[in-house]
């Protein structure tokens, strides 16, 4: 099949702010930016470039009110250290129904978009 995912779109009241968080969190680069949208792509020359979908942050007027229907799962080398780093960038811990036995940590970016930090392999 000649079809691939180009980007994952994230609605945001302030695309610049949310993109800044994810740019720092992932170490990705901005390849497009205007007041209504910001595109992040993996680092040039990395194994992910051209393979991993871009992140496209799009301006919307409404605030996020419900749990995301789609979210990112991140696989770190050191879960605790990565959670602490992401919290220092502005992420906050959130409860979405995970149990105490969960091996992942649920965080939200500055606009409340949930994502998971999985345990290391």
Which residues, other chains included, contact 50 with Cβ-Cβ below 8 Å and sequence gap of 6+?
A: none
Nearest to 95 by CA among 106, 86, 111: 106
- Name all domains of the chain by residue range, CATH numbers in brackets: 1-62 (3.10.180.10), 64-121 (3.10.180.10)
Sign of torsion, CA 4 54 12 76? positive
pTM of the model: 0.93
Residue 21: the pLDDT is 98
What CA–CA distance (Å, rounded) separates 112 from 5?
24
Residue 7: the pLDDT is 96
Bridge partners, 41 (sequence order): 29
pLDDT at residue 120 greater than cutoff 90: no
Q: How do residues 68-92 score in pLDDT, each as one tens digit? A: 889 999 999 999 999 999 999 999 9
* Location of structure tokens 């040039």: 44
Contact 23, 17 (CB under 8 A): no
What does DSSP assign to residue 65?
Answer: -
């Amino acid at each position: 099949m000649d079809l691939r995912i180009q980007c994952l779109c994230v609605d945001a009241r302030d695309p610049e702010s949310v993109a800044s968080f994810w740019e720092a969190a992932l170490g990705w680069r901005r390849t497009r930016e205007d007041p209504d949208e910001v595109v992040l792509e993996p680092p040039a020359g990395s194994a992910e470039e051209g393979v991993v979908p871009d992140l496209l942050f799009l301006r919307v007027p409404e605030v996020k009110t419900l749990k995301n229907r789609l979210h990112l799962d991140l696989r770190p080398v050191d879960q605790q250290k990565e959670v602490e780093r992401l919290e220092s960038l502005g992420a906050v811990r959130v409860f979405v129904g995970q149990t105490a036995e969960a091996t992942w940590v649920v965080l939200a970016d500055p606009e409340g978009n949930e994502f998971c930090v999985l345990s290391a392999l």
